[in-house]
Structure 1
Amino acid sequence: MNSRAHVPADTAWYLISLRPSGQHDGLRRAAARHGARTVAVSPWRLQARDDAATRDQLLQAQACDRLVFTSPAAASAAARLMPLGQLKAGSLVAVGQGTARTLVRHGAAAVQAPARMDSEGLLALPAMAGLEGKRVALVTAPGGRGMIAAQVQARGALLLRVDVYERVPLQVPSSLWSRLQALDAPAVLAVSSGEALERVLPQMPPALRRRWQEQPVVAASARLAQLATTLGFAHAYVAAGPLPGQLAAAARDALFPTPA
């Protein structure tokens, strides 16, 4: 872990969110509890699918031995297409607690989710062992979570991919880049999606990109922290998990480290 910045604890600061459009509120509230303002930089918006082919795939997924939901958005989109309460208890697996709560809110029962809320944590669940010859449905969106699909197939399972929503790319407006360049206080970048980071960086003015790369970045997993380092970020830290409170707490700790 890189040495942390030393900023007086009473200094105002910003948390930069790369969440999808319209989905920054949780991180904004968490950041505010730690004295930060949030700047939303959305690489895309989420759009649920509602077509006959997707509905048919979900019907096929009901017969699978495992249904793996990769995000709260996947759970919500699936719930718009079918009653989740009719899914087999014990067959549902969520990538994290937020996804599990969304499934339960829509009527699902007996959802399994890892304490470590990422692809590696999900794959370590007992429910994801012994998959030889079983049918596994991955309820997700195009792109992302490639590790889960690859590992499920490597473990001998028959994979059914059900893309229930999609990420519609957005161009970051130049006015937002100007605002970020004019920030008058330290900022920390929160990363819970490698795809989001990889989409935003090429759009940035070069001078701002260099500035970001010298600021702290907090990542939802060690894998994402390594990606940030590969992309030139000098001060990457791993949060306890991907939840807004975990990211915001890690961001504050990066700026205001507790004295040893």
Structure 2
Amino acid sequence: MFDATLNHIRALVTRPQPEGDRLAERIHRQGGKALVLPMLDIAALAETPVMRERVQQLDRYDKVIVISQRAARYGLELIDNYWPQRPIHQQWFAIGEATRHTLARLDVSATCSQQGSDSESLLALDDFQDITGQRVLLIKGKGGRDFLERTLHQQGVQIDTLEVYQRRCPDYQPDEVRQQLADHGINVILAGSGETVRNLCQFLPRTMPERCRLVIPGQRVVRLAEALGFRQIYKAAGADHAAMLSVLEKINDEASL
């Protein structure tokens, strides 16, 4: 069923596939238009001896934190190769509702913060207030932000990482991207992370950050976007589709659009 709640929206969706197409379809269903140009290429990392050791010692960790939906998928695929029955009496945590839902579909019950979809919100949970001496495994992509590792280490936690995928900037021709943005009349950009925003800026026309609306999750990404020249920034409650669409509905109602 189609409606017109996004009839003024012409969005650039920067999420990796297949999530990008799924978000674009939801925009279309609400009467909007969407161009999908992923600003992250994501691929699973080949298994290494260090990864194997982390997984084989899974039962030694008190807590497991999963950073993203991709980390959930690739991480559980690796874990299931060694653990037909996963360890019990172990707490699992997710960054954001979308990651928690992905883990649930993989038969892992995880906790996430209801106050935000970033590392700071997770660490504000009661479960992380007195964990000195505990062992924590962090399932994530290669590189990226190290806030969780640093903070937990400072709290006396033994923190190990399991990097299961890597992110790269896509290989687009800048002129092609700019032509597509113009052809589609893009007036809103949706970006799910700071890395996405940084990659995006390599392909945008110089004046576009000042005049185009940007929808992003989290105050940390807002600060980065401001530093990169964006002036019309809208903060979503999370990186999930529902949170992004909620902001698009508000933008659609603005008289100046």
Whether TM exceeds 0.5 here: the answer is: yes
TM-score (norm 2): 0.86
Taking the aligned partners of 1:18 and 1:10, their CA distance within structure 2 comes to 18
Taking the aligned partners of 1:17 and 1:144, their CA distance within structure 2 comes to 21
Report how far residue 90 of structure 1 moved.
Answer: 4.2
Q: In structure 2, what is the equivalent of residue 177 of structure 1?
A: 178
Structure 1, unmatched stretches of 5+, are 1-8
Alignment deviations for residues 77-108 of structure 1 (CA, whole Å, 9 cap, x no partner): 01211237503344111111211122122122
* Total equivalences in the alignment: 246
Q: In structure 2, what is the equivalent of residue 28 of structure 1?
A: 24
Higher relative contact order (CA 8 A, sep 6+): 1
Report how far residue 35 of structure 1 moved.
Answer: 2.2
Alignment deviations for residues 137-174 of structure 1 (CA, whole Å, 9 cap, x no partner): 11001122322222111211111011011113311234
2:41 to 42, 45, 48: 45
Task: Say which SS state the counterpart of residue 233 (structure 1) adopts.
Answer: coil
Moved more, 219-228 or 192-201: 219-228
1:66 to 52, 63, 66: 63
Contact 2:61–2:90 under 8 Å retained in 1: no
Taking the aligned partners of 1:225 and 1:35, their CA distance within structure 2 comes to 27
Q: In structure 1, what is the equivalent of residue 112 of structure 2?
A: 113
Contact 1:46–1:168 under 8 Å retained in 2: yes
Contact 2:8–2:32 under 8 Å retained in 1: yes
Contact 1:34–1:249 under 8 Å retained in 2: no
Q: In structure 2, what is the equivalent of residue 5 of structure 1?
A: none
Letter matched to residue 112 of structure 1: T
Taking the aligned partners of 1:96 and 1:189, their CA distance within structure 2 comes to 21
Contact 1:31–1:245 under 8 Å retained in 2: no
1:88–1:255 CA distance, 2 compared to 1 (3 A): same
Q: In structure 2, what is the equivalent of residue 155 of structure 1?
A: 155
Contact 1:19–1:41 under 8 Å retained in 2: yes
Give the share of equivalent positions with the same residue, in percent: 22
TM-score (norm 1): 0.85
Taking the aligned partners of 1:62 and 1:31, their CA distance within structure 2 comes to 42
Taking the aligned partners of 2:105 and 2:87, their CA distance within structure 1 comes to 14
Report how far residue 10 of structure 1 moved.
Answer: 8.1
Task: Say which SS state the counterpart of residue 60 (structure 2) adopts.
Answer: coil
Alignment of 1:1-260 (within 5 A): 12-53=8-49, 54-83=51-80, 86-109=86-109, 111-115=110-114, 116-173=116-173, 174-184=175-185, 187-204=187-204, 208-257=205-254
Contact 2:96–2:113 under 8 Å retained in 1: yes
Report how far residue 68 of structure 1 moved.
Answer: 0.4
Taking the aligned partners of 2:66 and 2:189, their CA distance within structure 1 comes to 26
